[in-house]
Amino acid sequence: MKPSIYITRKLPESIIAPLQKEFEVDMWEHEDVSVPRDVLLHKAESASALLTMLSDKIDRELLQRSPSLRVVANLAVGHDNIDLEAAKELGITICNTPDVLTETTADLTFALLMATARRIVEADRYVKEGKWKSWSPLLLAGLDIHHKTIGILGMGSIGEAVARRAKGFNMNVLYHNRSRKYAVEQDLGVQYATLEKLLTQSDFVVVLAPLNEDTEGMFQEEQFLLMKNTAIFINAARGPIVSEEALEQALKRGDIAGAGLDVFEAEPIDADHPLLKLHQVVALPHIGSSSKETRYGMMALCVENIHAVLKGKKPSTSL
């Protein structure tokens, strides 16, 4: 009997074709709807491999109920949806998709920063809604980006890529990380800072840290009060790092000038969420790595990793 693979979102046939030649492949029929929990549990019970999305909860219950499971390939660099400890205990290989999405996510992060600072989304709506009747000196005036200070929380590969882009805008780059990166400081000309210094001195605070017990809920009222009232806050990492209630109040009080968000505490976000009612917020549907080239690359890497494990070989990327 061939090993079976369950894919939790509809992917292009061209991507899964290599797996179909050697394995039994079953795939959720929807591209933009998450597989229900009960369906996922049922399918996982007999699967040798899972190709999962960040929205799929791969917890201890699921892993323990899946005796044939050998590998989970997560279509993301993050893995906070997976119980890594349980997987290790059960001998299940967990793979993710780092590196392939680094530059694409950095592009989106910097685009989000620019759109928020220069009020691009507001300006687009202004024109399309027929409000542009004349020109005035301060019409939709935003904030400069060049020669400002950017503070990057989380200097991993994506953080480094954002820092390189910032240097192209002649920005001063501060960073805060769990450990200092002396080689990066030398190569990119960035400066390590305590979190407090980063928050107080930065014109743009960009969150790119992983979600873990140290970063969950890191941004509360206290952190926003430390920031400049002209500062822009960007979160392209994970929603639960930030208290959305604290962010909302900081924006309403004018403690900070604006926010660009690609991630939220609960996703997808409800249309009547209070943050979406604020004109100084630019909101995106978690599309940091969403270019066609990169998403296809991520899918291909997942397929490659699954094939390797099921053939008794070492995957290209594993946790």
Neighbours of 226 (CB within 10 A): 19
Instruction: Out of 222, 245, 267, 293, pick the active-site residue.
Output: 267
- Whether 238 is catalytic is yes
- Whether 85 is catalytic is no
Instruction: Out of 119, 165, 286, 295, pick the active-site residue.
Output: 286
Integer Cα distance of 237 and 218 in angstroms: 12
Collect all residues with Cβ–Cβ distance below 8 Å to 229 and sequence separation of at least 6. Answer: 254, 255, 256, 257
- Whether 286 is catalytic is yes
Instruction: Out of 238, 244, 295, 307, pick the active-site residue.
Output: 238
Q: Tokens 């917020």 belong to which residue? A: 281
Integer Cα distance of 164 and 130 in angstroms: 38
Query: Which sequence positions are flagged as catalytic?
Result: 238, 267, 286
